[in-house]
Structure 1
Amino acid sequence: MKLKGVGVLLGLSLIATGAAQAAPRVAYKVSGICDGWPRLAIDAAPGMCAGLVAGPTPGAFAQRQLRLPRTLVPLDDGRTWLVADLADWTRPRGVVWRLTVEPGQPVRLEPLLTGLSLPHGLAIGPDGLAYVGEMSRIFRFDPRASDPAATVAPVITDLPDNRLHDNRHPLSQFVFAADGALLVNVGAPSDQCLDDKGARVGTDRCDQSEGDEATAGIRRYALVSPGRWSPDFTMLARGLRNSVALAVHPSGTVLQAENSYDLPDRWSPFEELNRIEAGKHYGWPYCMDRATPTPGAWSGAMDCASAAHTPPVALLPPHVAPLAMTWYQGAMFPALRGKLLMSWHGYRSTGGRLAAFAVDAKGLPVTRPRATFPTYPSGSRPFGAGPAAQAEILTPGWGKVDGVRPQGTPVGIAMAGDGAIWVADDKNASIIRFAVDRP
C-alpha cells in the first residue's frame, strides 16, 4: 500500500509550542505505517495506532501551513475535511482550511477563509453549512461554494470582545441543542475573579459571574426559524470558568468539561465534568471540586455544600485541560461504541492524552469508588474520597520523550466515516488519525 501524503509527512520536525519563532524542541519519530499513514511514535491502546495526516516538514516549522489547528469536521465524502486554525493568539491570522485526502496522493490544504480572529468552534449546521466561532461572533458559510468567503453570513454578533482576557478564555465554542437552540460558551475574563492587584471584582458576589456582562457561563440563543436564532440570549448556566468542551448527547444531555483554576498546586483543583441544566450555578469563583470553597478572596461567598452550588457529575484529573469531547459512534472500534471520548490538552504530567469513558443511557460517565488517574512519565494517583469516573486512556504514551516525540496537545476530536478518530494537535501543528493497527 502506498503511503498517503508522502510528500508532506515523512521525517517531520514538530515543536511543542505555538510560537513560530521558537527553535524545535522534540521531533516526532516516524517509523512504519499505521493503516496506510506514516506511523507516529505514540503508544496507543492495544489494537490502535497513530498515523500522521498533516504536519510541518523538517526544519521548516516557521513556514508550516497549519499553525495552531484547533477543531476539525468531515465534509461530505469523508475525504474532505474542514480545519479551524487559530494561528495566532494576538493577531487576526486565523484560517479555515479545506483538507483533501486522496489515496496515494499528498494531502492538500487550501485556505477557504483567512484573517479570522481566534477561530475555534467549528460545526456543520442543520442546514449543511459550516458554522465558525470567532472571538466575538459566530458566522456561517458555504464551504462548497466556488467563492466561500462571499457566502459568509453572521449568526450571533454580540459576543464579548475577549481579546484582553488575562487568562485566555476568549474562544467562542458552541453546540446545537436538541431543540435547535445555540448554546455558546463565554469564558471568564480572569482566573479567580480578581483584578491585577489581587482584589475582588465585585463585593458580595463576583461581577464577572453574576453581573450584566454575563461572562463565566453558557448563553442560550433560541431558534426562531430554520437558520435564524434570536439576537437576544438567556443565561443557561453560570459559574463556569471555561466551557470550551461542550457536547450534546443524542438523549439531549448537555455536558461541559470545566478547565478549573490555575492554582500552583500540581494536584489541585480537579477539573470537572458538569451536566448543564437551565438556571444552575456551577460554582466559579466560589467553589471547586465537589463542594470545597475556593481558597483565597472568595472563600465563604457561597455555601458550596448547599443547593446554591451544582456539583460536577464526575471529577477529572487536575490540570488536564479538557478541550473537546464527543460520543464515539464509529464502526472501527466496537469496544468504544457509545463511549465518551475526551481530549486532555494540559501541559502538566496529567495532560497530553485521549481518554474514553463508559457512560449510561443519558451519556453520563459511570462513576466508581477508588478511581485513579495516570501521570507522566508513569504511575497513577487516586481521586480520593467519593466516586469518580475511571478513564480508559487511549494514548498511554503521549508524553514527551527526547528524540521520539513531544507531549501531545490534543484539541478537536472528530469521527471519519470509516470510524477512525481524527485529532487536531495544536501546538505540534498536526492532524493525527487514530485507527486500527494494521499496515
Structure 2
Amino acid sequence: MRSSLRIGALLFGSLLWATAIGWPKAGAETVLKSGYALTDQRCGEAPDAYPKLRIGLREGYCAGLVASEEDGLIFPRSIVQIPGHRQFVIADMGSWNPGQGRLLLLDPDAAQGKRISVLIDKLDFPFGLQVGPDGKVYASTSETIFRFDPLASNPKSTIETVVQKLPGRKVTLSDGSVVEESVHPLKPFVFDKTGRIFINVGAPTDSCFKPISKPCVAGEGPAPFAAIWLFTPPPGGIFPTLKPGDPNPVRDIYARGLRNSMALAVHPDFPADGFAFLQGENGRDLLDPLEPNEELNAIERGKHYGWPYCYDLSTPSPEFKPFLLADPRYRNFCANTARYRQPLSLLPPHAAPLAMFYYSGSKFAELHGKLIVGLHGYRPSGSRVIFYDVDAFGFPKTSPPPVRYRVSCAADPSRAFQTEQKPEVAAAPFTELVTEWHKVNGIRPRGAPVGMTVASDGAIWLVEDHNKTILRIDAAASQAPDALPCDVRSPQAIDELVKFVQGDSSQRQRLTTIRTGLIEKHCQSCHSGFGLKPGLSEKEKDETALRFLLSQDGWLFPGDSKSGRLHTRLYGIGADRVMPPDPPDGRELMAHEAGYKPLLAAADLFVDRMVPGKRMRIRPGRIDREFRDRAGHECGAIPSKMVVVVVDRHPKEKPSYRIYRPADLYLNGTCTDANGYYIEQNNLDPL
C-alpha cells in the first residue's frame, strides 16, 4: 500500500540555506572531520597553518583544526605545552570508566593523522595538566598528582608521585558513610609562584543527601569534600617524590563550600597581598534553565562559598531552607557575610566553566593580562570562550545592573543576570572571544571547550572533549564574525512529530510509561525539569515532555534510536557519562532495578516507531550510501546497517524511496526538509 508523509516546511528553501551558510562553491573540495567542514582555507602561517574552522570569533581571530577523532582522540580534557619544545601533552580521559585514560603527545610538526602518540595509558580519570615551578610537566588522576618526562623513551618509567591517596571515585565521608561513585572525581589543580599546589576536591553528589536534617557531612570534618585542598612543598619549592605509603606533604583546607572547582586561576603575583586567586564554580543542577547561575569566586583562605546551602548570591537551596531556619549553627547562613563569601560575580546559568587562565602571551595585545574563561555548557549560554577586563590585582571589574550575557539560538539573544530575589543584579561584564558556536549541520558541531593553554608564540590552544578535537586560535585579518543560522528542529517539525505520537495509541502509552517511569523518576532533577510544571494534566505532561525531548539538539532521531544521545547516554555508550549520573546511576539501575532495562527498551521502541512508515536498513557495502533531495543535490551519506524510515515508496516527484530526515550526523548541510530526502531502492534491505 502506498504511504506518504507530509514534511513540515522549514524557514529556508535549499537555495536560501546554501546562501545563508556560505557553502563552498561547486568544485571546492570539502572534508568533514569531527563534524567540522574543512576546505583549503587556513588559519595561521606555516608551520602552524591549520584548516580554518567556521566558528564565530571576535574580529581579528581565527581557529584552526590541529587534530581530530581521526588522529586517535577519544575524550580529551586538557592540554599543556612542553617547556622549550613545540610538542604538547594532552590528557585524554577515554571515558567515565576507570582505567581508560591516557596521556598523549601532540607533535604539531608531524604529518596530519600522525600527530598523536600515546605516552602513558590505563590511567584513572586523568584531567589536570600544569607546568610546575621546576619546568616539568605535572598531571593528575582521580587520586594522585605526579610529574613525568613526556619526551623520555619510556615516559611511564619517569613518573614521580608528589601527592597521593586523594579522594577518588569511591569515597568515605567523615561520618564513615561510603559513596560508591562520586560524581566529581576529577582533580584540576594549579600552582602559585611559591610552588604550592591547590587541588579541587569536588562534592561527591550534586546537592548533598536527603533528608536534610543536619549539616551536610560531605562538607564537614578535617578532610571535607567540595573544597580546595592546599599542599605546601618543603623549603626550595619542589615537592619530593613519594613512595607508596609515604605521607603526603603538609595539607591545609584552603576554602570550603565549592561544589566542583573545575576552573582555577592564580594571578602571576599571587600570593602577594591583594592579588587574585579565582575559581569558576559549576553550580548545582536545578530545574530552571535560568538558575542557578554559575559563579566566579575570589578565593580567600578559610572562607566558605555556600555549597550545598546557598547558590547565586544569597539564595538558600530549597532542600535546606527548613534546616537553615532551625539549626542555630547555620541560621540565616546565606545572609551571614562573616561566614559565607558571596561570588565576586555571577557567570551565565549552566554555562559550565571548565578552564580559566590569565593571558600572558604576546600574540594578542588586547588580551594581555586579561582573564580567559572557557564555557563548556550545552545550554544556550555555553559553548563559547570569554574574557574579562581585570584590575591591577587581577579581579574582574563589576558593573551595576543590568549586565547582560548572550545566548545562542533563542528568541531573545541576550539576558540580564538575575537571581531568585532580584530581576537584575550587578555582575562583571565580559567579551566573547569565541561565540556563535552552536551546531550547524554540515558545517560544525556545537562547541565543547575544556582545557586551554597559551603556547610559546602566544597562540591559544584548546581541546574539545565531545567533538574530540584540538584547536589553535591565531590572529587573522580583520573580518566580520562568521554568523551562521541556527540549525535546530523547527517548531513545524516538532508539531508534526507530536501529532504522529498522539495519533497512535501504542505510542501514547509508551510515552506515558517513559515520562512516569524514566523522566519523572530519574531525569527530571536535571534538564530544566523537562518543562513539567504543577497543575498540568497527565496528557499535558506527556506532550510537554515530548516537546522538550524533540527540542534538544541530537537527543533523538525519529526512526533511528541508536543514533541519538538519549540512547547512548541512558546506556552509557561511549565517552559521555551514563545518565542518570547520581547514585544509583544508570549502570546500577540496569544491573539492579527490576523493570529498568525494559523501560529503556520502550524508549528505543518509542523513537523507532515515532514516524509512520517502513523502517529499512542501509545495505552493507564498502561505501556509505548517498541520499539526495528532490532536485538531485547530494544531502549526505549513511553508513551500512543504519536504519532509515521510508515514508513513500512511490513518490511522484522522483523515482526512488522518500525517507524521513536521517540523523544529523549523516547530513552535509546542503539540503533542507522542505525538499525532502530520497535514496535509491537498491541501497536498502528489509529489517
Query: With structure 2 as the length reference, what TM-score do the two structures score?
Result: 0.57
SS at match of 1:149: helix
Q: Show the counterpart of 1:42.
A: 55
Q: CA separation in 1, counterparts of 2:92 and 2:75?
A: 5
Q: CA separation in 1, counterparts of 2:445 and 2:345?
A: 29
Is this contact kept in 2: 1:410–1:426, CA < 8 A?
yes
Q: CA separation in 2, counterparts of 1:299 and 1:420?
A: 51
Matching residue within 9, 33, 39 for 1:13 = 33
Q: CA separation in 2, counterparts of 1:304 and 1:410?
A: 32
Q: Show the counterpart of 2:238.
A: 227
1:289 matches 2:309: no
SS at match of 1:162: coil
Q: Show the counterpart of 1:374.
A: 406
Q: C-alpha displacement at 1:177, in angstroms? A: 2.3
Q: Show the counterpart of 1:342.
A: 373
Matching residue within 185, 191, 216 for 1:176 = 191
Q: CA separation in 1, counterparts of 2:232 and 2:87?
A: 31
1:100 matches 2:113: no
Matching residue within 145, 157, 165 for 1:158 = 165
Question: Amino acid of the residue matched to residue 419 of structure 1?
Answer: G
SS at match of 2:56: coil
Matching residue within 410, 413, 417 for 1:383 = 417
Q: CA separation in 2, counterparts of 1:143 and 1:89?
A: 24
Q: C-alpha displacement at 1:298, in angstroms? A: 5.0
Is this contact kept in 1: 2:127–2:186, CA < 8 A?
yes
Q: Structure 1 stretch 138-147 or stretch 221-230: which is displaced more? A: 221-230
Provide the identity percentage. 41
Q: C-alpha displacement at 1:431, in angstroms? A: 0.3
Matching residue within 73, 79, 87 for 2:80 = 73
Higher helix share: 2
Q: Show the counterpart of 1:310.
A: 341
Q: CA separation in 1, counterparts of 2:321 and 2:217?
A: 12
Q: Structure 1 stretch 293-302 or stretch 246-255: which is displaced more? A: 293-302
Q: CA separation in 2, counterparts of 1:337 and 1:40?
A: 24
Question: Amino acid of the residue matched to residue 214 of structure 1?
Answer: P
Spell out the pairing of 1:164-313 with structure 2 (5 A cutoff): 168-194=183-209, 198-200=210-212, 203-225=213-235, 226-228=237-239, 230-252=248-270, 253-297=276-320, 300-301=323-324, 302=330, 303-306=333-336, 307-313=338-344
Is this contact kept in 2: 1:372–1:390, CA < 8 A?
yes
Is this contact kept in 1: 2:81–2:455, CA < 8 A?
yes
1:18-63 deviation per Cα after TM superposition (whole angstroms, max 9, x unaligned): xxxxxxxxx2122321112101111111011110000023xxxxxx
What is the root-mean-square deviation of aligned Cα atoms in Å? 1.9
Q: CA separation in 1, counterparts of 2:449 and 2:112?
A: 26
Matching residue within 332, 347, 356 for 1:325 = 356
Gaps of 5+ in 1: 1-9, 15-26, 58-63
Is this contact kept in 2: 1:119–1:133, CA < 8 A?
yes
1:136 matches 2:170: no
Is this contact kept in 2: 1:53–1:107, CA < 8 A?
no
Question: Amino acid of the residue matched to residue 204 of structure 1?
Answer: K
SS at match of 1:243: coil
SS at match of 1:150: helix
Q: Show the counterpart of 1:116.
A: 123
Q: Show the counterpart of 2:36.
A: 28
Query: With structure 1 as the length reference, what TM-score do the two structures score?
Result: 0.88
Q: C-alpha displacement at 1:161, in angstroms? A: 2.1
> Which runs of structure 1 show a deviation greater than 4 angstroms over 4 or more consecutive aligned residues?
103-107, 163-167
Q: Show the counterpart of 2:584.
A: none
- Closer, same or farther: CA 128–392 of 1 in aligned 2, 3 Å: same
Is this contact kept in 2: 1:78–1:416, CA < 8 A?
no
Q: C-alpha displacement at 1:251, in angstroms? A: 2.5
Is this contact kept in 2: 1:165–1:190, CA < 8 A?
no
1:294-323 deviation per Cα after TM superposition (whole angstroms, max 9, x unaligned): 112455524211121100111100000000
- Closer, same or farther: CA 193–105 of 1 in aligned 2, 3 Å: closer
Q: CA separation in 2, counterparts of 1:124 and 1:44?
A: 28
Q: Show the counterpart of 1:7.
A: none
Q: CA separation in 1, counterparts of 2:403 and 2:106?
A: 40
Is this contact kept in 2: 1:251–1:363, CA < 8 A?
no
Q: Structure 1 stretch 262-271 or stretch 72-81: which is displaced more? A: 72-81
Q: Structure 1 stretch 247-256 or stretch 100-109: which is displaced more? A: 100-109
1:199-225 deviation per Cα after TM superposition (whole angstroms, max 9, x unaligned): 23xx43111111344111011111114
Q: CA separation in 2, counterparts of 1:101 and 1:177?
A: 29
Q: Structure 1 stretch 165-174 or stretch 83-92: which is displaced more? A: 165-174
Please say which structure displays the higher CA radius of gyration.
Answer: 2
Matching residue within 398, 402, 406 for 2:437 = 398
Q: Show the counterpart of 1:52.
A: 65
Q: CA separation in 1, counterparts of 2:320 and 2:211?
A: 7
SS at match of 2:94: coil
Q: Show the counterpart of 1:21.
A: none
- Closer, same or farther: CA 339–165 of 1 in aligned 2, 3 Å: farther
Q: Structure 1 stretch 429-438 or stretch 291-300: which is displaced more? A: 291-300
Q: Show the counterpart of 1:351.
A: 382
Q: CA separation in 1, counterparts of 2:450 and 2:112?
A: 26
SS at match of 1:273: strand
- Closer, same or farther: CA 34–177 of 1 in aligned 2, 3 Å: same
Q: CA separation in 2, counterparts of 1:305 and 1:292?
A: 9
Question: Amino acid of the residue matched to residue 29 of structure 1?
Answer: A
Is this contact kept in 2: 1:371–1:388, CA < 8 A?
yes
1:428 matches 2:439: no
1:113-148 deviation per Cα after TM superposition (whole angstroms, max 9, x unaligned): 111100000111112221111011111111222211
- Closer, same or farther: CA 103–149 of 1 in aligned 2, 3 Å: closer
Q: C-alpha displacement at 1:396, in angstroms? A: 1.7
Q: Structure 1 stretch 184-193 or stretch 289-298: which is displaced more? A: 289-298
- Closer, same or farther: CA 53–314 of 1 in aligned 2, 3 Å: same
- Closer, same or farther: CA 435–233 of 1 in aligned 2, 3 Å: same
Q: C-alpha displacement at 1:349, in angstroms? A: 1.0
Gaps of 5+ in 2: 1-29, 171-178, 241-247, 271-275, 325-329, 419-423, 479-687
1:363 matches 2:363: no
SS at match of 1:304: helix
Q: Structure 1 stretch 343-352 or stretch 246-255: which is displaced more? A: 246-255
Q: CA separation in 2, counterparts of 1:105 and 1:137?
A: 33
Q: CA separation in 1, counterparts of 2:223 and 2:368?
A: 40
SS at match of 2:307: coil
Question: Amino acid of the residue matched to residue 431 of structure 1?
Answer: I
SS at match of 1:335: helix
Is this contact kept in 2: 1:415–1:422, CA < 8 A?
yes
Q: CA separation in 1, counterparts of 2:87 and 2:110?
A: 12
Q: C-alpha displacement at 1:249, in angstroms? A: 0.6
- Closer, same or farther: CA 165–327 of 1 in aligned 2, 3 Å: farther
Greater relative CO, 1 or 2 (CA 8 Å, sep 6+)? 1
Q: Show the counterpart of 2:531.
A: none
